[in-house]
């Protein structure tokens, strides 16, 4: 845990430098600290350094950590693959669900949001390279998923797009994918839809966040560079 302060300082400095290099205001980039598989005390330690936004990949782990840290002013982001039957674990707990990728998932989240009497903010994940093992809708399906959000009557609100580019040796390899996601955001903005207000781009991880910022990221999801290597996942 002792290493946390310098790591957070380093990443924040790199975010600021990446913004300055392309003339962006660092206030326009939110650092989402990806705490998946790290214990709740790592989140507490990061929160003590002023970190507010945390990302989790597993619905149960999100629910448990959010419960353990209830009463702290943290914003949780759900960034993992989401099964419809886990919607109840994330709705209302996650300030933002980054991984909505089908009309069916929109339906499950909207149903739970209605039951709880709240509006759930979300992003649509786009699978840009057609990778079968990854979540995300195909670029050609984006319009239909946004239509489903619009049809949910305010139970959901879509604020932007998210992507995870193919793993690649160089950060520069991610650039065309980030650029394409931004292009898809701009195209989709040209079609006005109720409850769809596209202004966020969730893109960039430890390896490539500086490139993502240059291409317009507003949310960067960083785990390893902040918390170190993740412990292995136990159980389901
Ligand atoms: C784990 C994960 C991250 C963080 O990855 P690092 O390489 O550790 O920074 C970001 N986004 C998603 C969707 C993840 O699953």
Tens-digit pLDDT profile for residues 20-67: 999 999 999 999 999 999 999 999 999 999 999 999 999 999 999 999
Report whether 82 contacts 59 (CB < 8 A): yes
| 3-state SS class at 3 | coil
Sign of the C-alpha dihedral computed for residues 215, 207, 225 and 65 taken in this order:
positive
What's the pLDDT score for residue 234?
Answer: 79
Residue 185 token pair: 């955001």
Q: Which residue has the tokens 């699978």?
A: 127
Mean pLDDT of 141-156: 98
CA distance 182 to 200: 9
Residue of minimum CA distance from atom 7 in ligand 1 = 206
Report whether 159 contacts 198 (CB < 8 A): yes
- Residue 205 in this model has a pLDDT that exceeds 90: yes
- Residue 2 in this model has a pLDDT that exceeds 80: no
| 3-state SS class at 100 | strand
- Across the chain, which distance is largest between two alpha carbons, in Å? 49
Whether 164 is in the pocket of ligand 1, judged by its Cβ within 6 Å, is: yes
- Residue 129 in this model has a pLDDT that exceeds 90: yes
Report CA(79)–ligand 1 centroid distance (Å). Answer: 8
What's the pLDDT score for residue 48?
Answer: 96
Whether 223 is in the pocket of ligand 1, judged by its Cβ within 6 Å, is: yes
Report whether 34 contacts 223 (CB < 8 A): yes
What's the pLDDT score for residue 233?
Answer: 87
Taking CA atoms, 52 is separated from 47, 63, 85, 201, in Å, by 6, 17, 28, 18
- Nearest one of 56, 1, 48 to 32, comparing CA atoms: 56
CA distance 12 to 223: 13
Mean pLDDT of 146-154: 98
Report CA(21)–ligand 1 centroid distance (Å). Answer: 24
How much of the chain exceeds pLDDT 90, in percent? 96
Residue 130 token pair: 């057609």
Residue of minimum CA distance from atom 6 in ligand 1 = 223
- Residue 114 in this model has a pLDDT that exceeds 90: yes
- Residue 215 in this model has a pLDDT that exceeds 60: yes
Q: Which residue has the tokens 């390899």?
A: 173
Spatial CB neighbours of 109, under 8 Å, sequence gap ≥ 6: 87, 90, 91, 97, 100, 120, 122, 155, 156
Report CA(62)–ligand 1 centroid distance (Å). Answer: 15
User: What mean pLDDT, rounded, does the chain reach?
Assistant: 97
Report whether 177 contacts 162 (CB < 8 A): no
Mean pLDDT of 190-194: 97
């Amino acid at each position: 845990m002792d290493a946390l302060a310098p790591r957070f300082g380093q990443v924040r400095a790199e975010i600021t430098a990446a913004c300055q290099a392309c003339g962006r205001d660092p206030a326009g980039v939110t650092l989402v600290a990806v705490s998946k598989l790290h214990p709740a005390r790592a989140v507490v330690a990061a929160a003590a350094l002023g970190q507010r936004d945390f990302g989790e990949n597993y619905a149960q782990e999100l629910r448990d950590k959010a419960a353990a840290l209830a009463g702290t002013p943290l914003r949780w982001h759900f960034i993992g693959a989401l099964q419809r039957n886990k919607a109840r674990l994330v709705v209302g707990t996650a300030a933002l669900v980054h991984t909505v990728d089908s009309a069916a998932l929109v339906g499950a989240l909207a149903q739970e949001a209605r039951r709880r009497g709240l509006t759930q903010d979300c992003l649509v994940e786009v699978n840009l390279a057609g990778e079968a093992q990854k979540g995300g809708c195909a670029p050609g399906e984006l319009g239909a998923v946004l239509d489903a959000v619009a049809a949910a009557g305010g139970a959901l609100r879509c604020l932007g797009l998210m992507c995870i580019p193919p793993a690649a040796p160089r950060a520069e390899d991610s650039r065309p994918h980030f650029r394409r996601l931004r292009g898809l955001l701009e195209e989709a903005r040209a079609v006005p839809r109720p409850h769809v207000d596209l202004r966020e781009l969730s893109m960039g991880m430890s390896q490539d966040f500086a490139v993502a910022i240059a291409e317009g990221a507003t949310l960067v999801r960083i785990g390893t560079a902040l918390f170190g290597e993740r412990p292995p996942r136990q159980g389901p």
